[in-house]
């Protein structure tokens, strides 16, 4: 059976269901408000006159990556549990659509929907940069920065957020995830506690920002392009691995029943 | 205990009118509430159970005015409520859940409360599995626990919404008999799609549609209005055509028997039949649709 | 009956609610031991566990418990009011967390790892203890309050968890900005560990610290009041999170 239509169908509907969640938009709106309290986009663009365009755009993408993925991760944590709660998992298991396809569709669809408000917010900042600098190259740079700095981190976070609640109580995962985000991205390595901050495993995208775009206003400075590539591939690879492990776990659980 | 409902309306946020100027008197005993989905039955029951507040109108349950806080609390003390979508705490056992609900209902005497719990577990035949967690229960078992919790405080007012959903025929009959026994000196408001449940237990009923009451009276009165409008048509297999509604189809092997509801004799050979409550309901809904169409045109 | 009720409320909330603060403190105890073996001072880390981590965990648990009740329709028909039932649950969770935190504080004091601001080096133990309690009880109550509010306003466990997480990270990343902005002081959650404010500090800073703790307690009480008002709206409570 050709599973491609099933895949696209699942992506379509998982996207719509996540997109229609009031909670998604209200949450990001509140986070946007927090940014405004902090001084808004202006605060981040105070460098506009002092930095070249490329690292400036990368800086904006990386700055958003400190806060917005945490919201995305928590909002995605209940997607799998929801299938069990609403009892559609039993119904879907009886359909010819393969589990791997449904899982892939859920991952891609719900992540894309969650990316939308993040991209919108990002675009507002990009618009502001464009307005300040009057440089049309802002747009292709911004798209490249989003694709290489923001996207891998979000995909990484999404994979864990969809997979881990299969084994953990959702609120417990949310708490551990928020704690991990602080430990793995914000906690300085000079604090005495071992941390993933400033390593190639950090999903904030520091290595890509420094290696590809020359953004050195951060913990990671003067990274090479190769390090950026390593970090990007590692994040994407781990995301894929997590989804494959989830798929196998779900298959094993189904076989047990 | 009578329930007097006067000019009751309920409009939800967003402008959805669930109830539209309802006047109703619910006498003591068994009272059936019928109607299609979206008729407003659940909204009415929730208002009577003091979960929702009406937008307009008044309700007196016995001596209590549920427009006052005191009235609502007094009603809740004598209320047994079984909602259509009964939520339970999955990690409690049946015994624990009933005991907990008993505490919430104000049954403070532990010994009396636990005794009552045991009695009801016996009544709904769940004593043997009472220590199992509710998450392991089947749908029918959960329904029976729902019935048991509604009866905990020996309520004077019992509101049950689709109580026999998920029960097998024997359980349904047992529950009907239980309700009928209870109906004597208290008010039992039974909302269901299973017309037979009302036919077997209720003398009085109301039928709702689109937030209004389209019939209130006795089951005998409703059935009486349908006399002469129910027919049996037997064909070789072709579905009969005409101005009527097919209520049931029975395959007899070489022929097919259609039970239809319509104003006039649909054709030669149609045999008049004694109407049931289900026929009467179908007839009433048909009449409602016809009068709506003529109003629009 | 009180004990019966307590037992059932605990059972339906689940063991996870009881285990959460215990496991958090055990985890940080291990981290502290690890730091100590590396000759690093674990005081600030232990302060973080009480002031920053435990309130986050409690806030998320509270939001989860408050946003969804499996038997809400039944609860609303009971003579025992639902707002009091929820309040009871909040007191259980908050009270248990306070007990664990107090116990942890005593152990931390005994091991001489206290991390608190002092207005003078000769402050009495009682005053020191009260100061220590203020460092964590203010953010704890605040995150509990906002957890309740968000859960009832959004009727979504995920959204309230996401916002609590977002606010938490925001407070950490922008601590300096919040400290420098007067109108944000009533919501300054973690000054003790983050700024940091430890040991004998000038009286003016100590007073500022103390004021922000009391302001935080005040805003927490406002959130709890809003939450209580939201609990008295049965129609709002009945709206399921079906969109979830």
Residue of C nearest to A169 (CA): C16
Residue C189: name the closest of C25, C24, C51, C44 by CA. Answer: C51
Contacts of C75 in chain B (CB under 8 A): 104
CB pair distance less than 8 Å for C70 and B87: yes
Domain extents in chain A = 4-256
Residue C62: name the closest of C189, C135, C190, C152 by CA. Answer: C152
Burial of C36: CB neighbours in 10 Å, binned 0-12, 13-18, 19+:
middle
The Cα A23–Cα A76 span in angstroms is 11
The Cα B4–Cα B58 span in angstroms is 8
Please check whether residue C64 lies inside any domain of the structure: yes
pLDDT at C241: 47
pLDDT at A254: 81
Instruction: Tokens 């690879």: give the residue.
Output: A237
The Cα B106–Cα B93 span in angstroms is 20
pLDDT at C56: 95
Model pLDDT for residues C65-89, shown as the tens digit of each residue? 998 898 999 999 999 899 999 999 9
- Helices A206-213/A53-64 angle, 10° precision: 170
Please check whether residue C25 lies inside any domain of the structure: yes
CB pair distance less than 8 Å for C8 and B87: no
Res. B20: pLDDT tops 70:
yes
The Cα A124–Cα C73 span in angstroms is 43
Confidence of residue C114 (pLDDT cuts 50, 70, 90): confident
* C16 in contact with A, Cβ within 8 Å: yes
Residue of A nearest to C150 (CA): A27
pLDDT at C126: 87
Hey, what domains does chain B have and what are their CATH numbers?
3-217 (3.40.50.300), 224-296 (no CATH)
Q: What are the helix (H) ranges across chain B?
A: 41-48, 69-77, 94-104, 110-123, 139-151, 169-182, 195-201, 219-226, 277-296
What is the secondary structure of B174-188 as a DSSP string? Answer: HHHHHHHHHTSSSEE
Confidence of residue B165 (pLDDT cuts 50, 70, 90): confident
Res. B271: pLDDT tops 70:
yes
Which among A37, A38, A75 has CB closest to C158? A75
The Cα B24–Cα B48 span in angstroms is 12
* C6 in contact with B, Cβ within 8 Å: no
* B134 in contact with C, Cβ within 8 Å: no
Res. B294: pLDDT tops 70:
no
pTM of the model: 0.86
pLDDT at B266: 59
d(CA B61, nearest CA chain C) in Å: 15
The total number of residues written for chain B in this structure: 297
Q: What is the total count of domains within chain C?
A: 1
Q: What is the 3-state secondary structure (H, E, C) of C212-232?
A: HHHHHHHHHHHHHHHHHHHHC
Model pLDDT for residues C128-142, shown as the tens digit of each residue? 888 999 999 999 999
d(CA A80, nearest CA chain C) in Å: 11
Mean pLDDT in residue range B168-195: 84
How many angstroms from the chain centroid is the CA of residue A31? 15
CB pair distance less than 8 Å for C12 and B110: no
* C43 in contact with A, Cβ within 8 Å: no
Model pLDDT for residues B46-94, shown as the tens digit of each residue? 999 988 889 999 999 999 999 888 898 889 989 999 988 888 888 889 9
Beta strands B17-26 and B3-11 are antiparallel
Residue of C nearest to A83 (CA): C244
Mean pLDDT in residue range B117-146: 92
- Within a 13 Å sphere around the CA of B62, how many CA atoms are in the beta-carbon half? 15
Res. C220: pLDDT tops 90:
yes
pLDDT at C230: 92
- Structure ipTM: 0.84
Confidence of residue C243 (pLDDT cuts 50, 70, 90): very low
Q: Which domain holds residue C91?
A: 2-234
pLDDT at A197: 82
Picking from C40, C158, C239 by the largest number of A CB atoms within 10 A of its own CB, the best residue to mutate is C158
Please check whether residue C244 lies inside any domain of the structure: no
Chunked into runs of 10 residues, chain A (257 residues) has average pLDDT values of 82 90 88 78 61 88 88 90 80 78 93 94 90 90 95 95 92 90 83 80 90 82 90 95 94 82
Mean pLDDT in residue range B136-148: 90
Res. B28: pLDDT tops 70:
yes
Residue of A nearest to C181 (CA): A38
How many angstroms from the chain centroid is the CA of residue B238? 36
The Cα C19–Cα B239 span in angstroms is 66
**Residue B132 — φ and ψ, nearest 5°?**
-80, 150
Return the SS3 of B246.
strand
CB pair distance less than 8 Å for A71 and C162: yes
The Cα A199–Cα A205 span in angstroms is 10
The Cα C63–Cα B144 span in angstroms is 32
Average pLDDT, chain C: 90
**Residue A84 — φ and ψ, nearest 5°?**
-75, -40
Range C105-111 contact pairs with CB under 8 angstroms and sequence separation of 24 or more: C105/C50, C105/C129, C105/C132, C105/C133, C105/C136, C108/C46, C108/C50
How many angstroms from the chain centroid is the CA of residue B143? 14
Q: Are C88 and C5 in contact (CB under 8 A)?
A: yes
Q: Are C152 and C160 in contact (CB under 8 A)?
A: no
Which among B50, B90, B110 has CB closest to C77? B50
CA-to-CA dists, residue B237 to A29, A114, B246, B252, angstroms: 63, 56, 14, 10
Range A231-235 contact pairs with CB under 8 angstroms and sequence separation of 24 or more: A231/A152, A231/A200, A231/A201, A231/A202, A231/A205, A231/A206, A231/A207, A232/A148, A232/A152, A232/A207, A232/A208, A234/A200, A234/A201, A235/A152, A235/A153, A235/A155, A235/A156, A235/A201, A235/A203
pLDDT at C101: 95
- Give the single-character DSSP code of B238: P
d(CA C126, nearest CA chain A) in Å: 31
Range 160-179 of C in CB contact (< 8 A) with A: 161-170, 172-174, 177
The Cα C165–Cα C176 span in angstroms is 19
Residue C96: name the closest of C43, C157, C149, C140 by CA. Answer: C140
Residue of A nearest to C58 (CA): A175
10 Å Cβ neighbour count for B119?
13
- Give the single-character DSSP code of B133: B
Burial of C184: CB neighbours in 10 Å, binned 0-12, 13-18, 19+:
middle
Beta strands C117-118 and C199-200 are parallel
Res. C191: pLDDT tops 60:
yes
């Amino acid at each position: 059976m050709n599973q491609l239509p099933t895949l696209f169908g699942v992506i379509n509907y998982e996207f719509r269901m996540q997109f229609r969640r009031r909670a998604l938009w209200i949450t990001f709106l509140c986070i946007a408000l927090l940014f405004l309290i902090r001084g808004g986009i202006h605060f981040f663009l105070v460098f506009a006159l002092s930095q070249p365009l490329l690292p400036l755009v990368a800086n904006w993408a990386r700055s958003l990556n400190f806060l917005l993925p945490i919201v995305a991760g928590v909002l995605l944590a209940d997607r799998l549990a929801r299938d069990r709660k609403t009892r559609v998992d039993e119904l879907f298991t009886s359909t010819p659509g393969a589990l791997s396809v449904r899982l892939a569709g859920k991952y891609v669809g719900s992540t894309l929907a969650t990316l939308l408000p993040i991209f919108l917010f990002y675009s507002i900042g990009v618009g502001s940069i464009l307005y300040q600098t009057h440089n049309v190259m802002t747009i292709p740079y911004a798209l490249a920065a989003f694709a290489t700095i923001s996207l891998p981190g979000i995909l990484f976070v999404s994979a864990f957020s969809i997979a881990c609640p299969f084994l953990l109580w959702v609120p417990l995962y949310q708490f551990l995830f928020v704690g991990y985000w602080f430990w793995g991205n914000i906690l300085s390595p000079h604090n005495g506690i071992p941390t993933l901050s400033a390593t190639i495993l950090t999903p904030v995208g520091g290595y890509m920002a420094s290696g590809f775009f020359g953004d050195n206003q951060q913990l990671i400075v003067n990274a090479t392009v190769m390090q950026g590539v390593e970090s990007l591939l590692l994040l994407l690879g781990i995301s894929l691995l997590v989804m494959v492990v989830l798929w196998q776990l779900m298959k094993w659980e189904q076989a047990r029943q | 205990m009578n329930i007097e409902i006067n000019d009751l309306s309920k409009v939800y946020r967003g402008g959805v009118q669930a109830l539209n100027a309802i006047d109703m008197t619910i006498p003591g005993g068994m009272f059936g509430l019928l109607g299609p989905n979206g008729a407003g039955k659940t909204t009415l029951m929730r208002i009577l159970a003091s979960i929702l507040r009406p937008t307009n109108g008044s309700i007196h349950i016995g001596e209590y005015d549920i427009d006052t806080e005191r009235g609502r609390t007094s009603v809740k003390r004598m209320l047994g409520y079984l909602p259509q979508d009964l939520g339970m705490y999955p990690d409690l056992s049946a015994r624990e859940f009933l005991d907990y609900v008993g505490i919430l209902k104000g049954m403070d005497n532990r010994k009396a409360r636990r005794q009552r719990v045991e009695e009801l577990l016996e009544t709904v035949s769940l004593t043997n599995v009472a220590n199992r967690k509710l998450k392991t229960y089947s749908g029918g078992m959960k329904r029976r626990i729902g019935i048991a919790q509604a009866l905990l405080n020996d309520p004077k007012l019992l509101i049950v919404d689709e109580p026999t959903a998920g029960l097998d025929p024997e359980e349904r009959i047992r529950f009907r008999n239980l309700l009928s026994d209870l109906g004597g000196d208290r008010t039992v408001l039974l909302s269901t799609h299973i017309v037979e449940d009302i036919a077997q237990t209720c003398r009085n009923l109301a039928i709702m549609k689109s937030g209004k009451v389209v019939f209130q009276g006795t089951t005998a009165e409703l059935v009486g209005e349908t006399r002469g409008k129910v027919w049996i048509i037997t064909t070789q297999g072709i579905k009969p055509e005409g101005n009527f509604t097919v209520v049931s189809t029975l395959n007899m092997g070489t022929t097919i028997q259609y039970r239809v509801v319509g104003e006039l004799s649909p054709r030669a050979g149609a045999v008049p039949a004694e109407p049931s409550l289900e026929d009467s309901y179908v007839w009433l809904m048909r009449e409602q649709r016809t009068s709506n169409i003529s109003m629009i045109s | 009956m009180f004990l019966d009720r307590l037992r059932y409320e605990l059972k339906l909330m689940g063991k996870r609610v009881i285990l959460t603060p215990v496991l958090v403190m055990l985890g940080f105890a291990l981290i502290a031991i690890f730091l100590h073996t590396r000759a690093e001072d674990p005081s600030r880390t232990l302060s973080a566990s009480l002031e920053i981590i435990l309130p986050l965990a409690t806030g998320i648990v509270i939001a989860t418990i408050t946003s969804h009740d499996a038997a809400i329709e039944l609860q609303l028909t009971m003579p025992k009011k639902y707002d009091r039932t929820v309040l009871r649950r909040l007191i259980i969770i908050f009270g248990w967390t306070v007990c664990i935190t107090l116990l942890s504080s005593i152990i931390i004091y005994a091991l001489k790892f206290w991390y608190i601001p002092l207005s003078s080096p000769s402050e009495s133990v009682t005053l020191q203890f009260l100061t220590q309690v203020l460092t964590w009880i203010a953010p704890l109550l605040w995150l509990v309050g906002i957890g309740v509010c968000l859960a009832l306003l959004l009727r979504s466990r995920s959204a309230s968890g996401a916002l609590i997480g977002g606010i938490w990270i925001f407070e950490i990343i922008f601590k300096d900005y919040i400290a420098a902005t007067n109108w944000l002081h009533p919501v300054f959650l973690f000054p003790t560990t983050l700024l940091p404010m430890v040991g004998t500090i000038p009286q003016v800073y100590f007073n500022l610290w103390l004021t922000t703790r009391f302001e935080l307690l005040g805003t927490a009480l406002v959130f709890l009041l809003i939450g209580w008002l939201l609990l008295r709206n049965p129609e709002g409570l009945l709206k399921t999170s079906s969109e979830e």
